[in-house]
Structure 1
Amino acid sequence: MKNQAYRMALLFDFYGDMLTDRQKEFFDLYYNEDLSLAEIAENYDITRQGVRDVIVRAEGIMQELEDKTGIIRRFQKMQSQLSDIDRFADSIMEMNDQRGSGDPAIEGLCRQIKDTVAQMKQE
C-alpha cells in the first residue's frame, strides 16, 4: 500500500496541474489528508461512489499522461545517474588522496561536481 501511495504522490506532483480543481481537491483529501471516501462525500454532500469516481478518473488521467510521456520514469533514472556521478566523484577524490600528495585541482573539481549534483537533485 505504501508503494501505491508513493506512486500516487509522484503522479500528483508531476501531473496534478492537469486535473480539474475538484479532482485535485478530492485526490489531495484522499491521499494526502487521509480522509476516507465517506468523509469526503459527507463534506461535499455527494455519494461515496461519486467521490470514488472522481479519484479513479484523476488517477487514470495522470497514469495515462505518465504512460505517454514517461517523465517520472526519466526523472527517477536521472536521480539514479546523479547518485552514480556523486559516488564517482567520491572515488576520484579517494584515489587522489591515496596517491600521496593529493592534487588540489582534482579535489576542487570533484567538489564542484558534487555541488552541481546536489543542486540538480534539489531541482
Structure 2
Amino acid sequence: MKNQAYRMALLYDFYGDMLTDRQKEFYDLYYNEDLSLAEIAENYGITRQGVRDVIVRAEAVLTELEDKTGIIRRFHKMQEQFAQIADALDGICQLNEDRYQDDALEGLCAQIRSVLSDLKQE
C-alpha cells in the first residue's frame, strides 16, 4: 500500500494541475489528508460513491498522462543516472587524491559536482 500511496503522490505532483478543482480537492483530501470516502462525502453533502467516482476519474487522468508522457519514468531514470555520475566522480576525485594530487583535476571535479548538484535541484 505504501508503494501505491507513493505512486499516487508522484502522479499528483507531476500532473495534478491537469485535474479539475473538484478532483484536486477530493484527491488531496483522500491521499494527503487521509480522509475516508465517507468523511469527504459527509463534508460535501454527496454520496460516498460520488466521492469515489471523482477520485477514480482523477486517478485515471493522472495514470493516462503518465502512460502517454512517461515523465515520472524518465525522472526516476535521471535520478539513477545522477547517482552513477556522482559515484564515478567520487572515484575520479579519490584517484586524483591518492595518485596525482593535480589541482586542475581537483578543480574540474568540483565544477562537475556543482553542475550535478544544480541538475538535481531542477
TM-score range, shorter chain: over 0.9
User: Does 1:69 pair with 2:69?
Assistant: yes
2: distance between equivalents of 1:98 and 1:31? 50
1: distance between equivalents of 2:118 and 2:44? 42
Match of 1:117 in 2: 116
Match of 2:56 in 1: 56
Structure 1 residue ranges, 4+ long, deviating more than 4 angstroms after superposition: none
CA apart distance, 1:111: 1.4
Deviations 1:80-115 (A, max 9, x none): 10111111111000000110x411111111111112
1: distance between equivalents of 2:117 and 2:21? 34
Match of 2:88 in 1: 88
Tell me, what secondary structure is at the counterpart of 1:34? coil
The normalised TM-score by structure 1 is 0.96
CA apart distance, 1:119: 1.6
Equivalences, count: 122
1: distance between equivalents of 2:112 and 2:57? 43
Deviations 1:11-47 (A, max 9, x none): 0011000000000000000001111111100111000
Q: Where does the alignment leave 5 or more consecutive residues of structure 1 unmatched?
A: none
Q: Which amino acid aligns with 2:41?
A: A
Preserved contact between residue 11 and residue 62 of structure 1 (Cα < 8 Å): yes
Match of 1:35 in 2: 35
2: distance between equivalents of 1:87 and 1:76? 17
User: Does 1:47 pair with 2:47?
Assistant: yes
1: distance between equivalents of 2:15 and 2:52? 19
The normalised TM-score by structure 2 is 0.97
Preserved contact between residue 86 and residue 113 of structure 1 (Cα < 8 Å): no
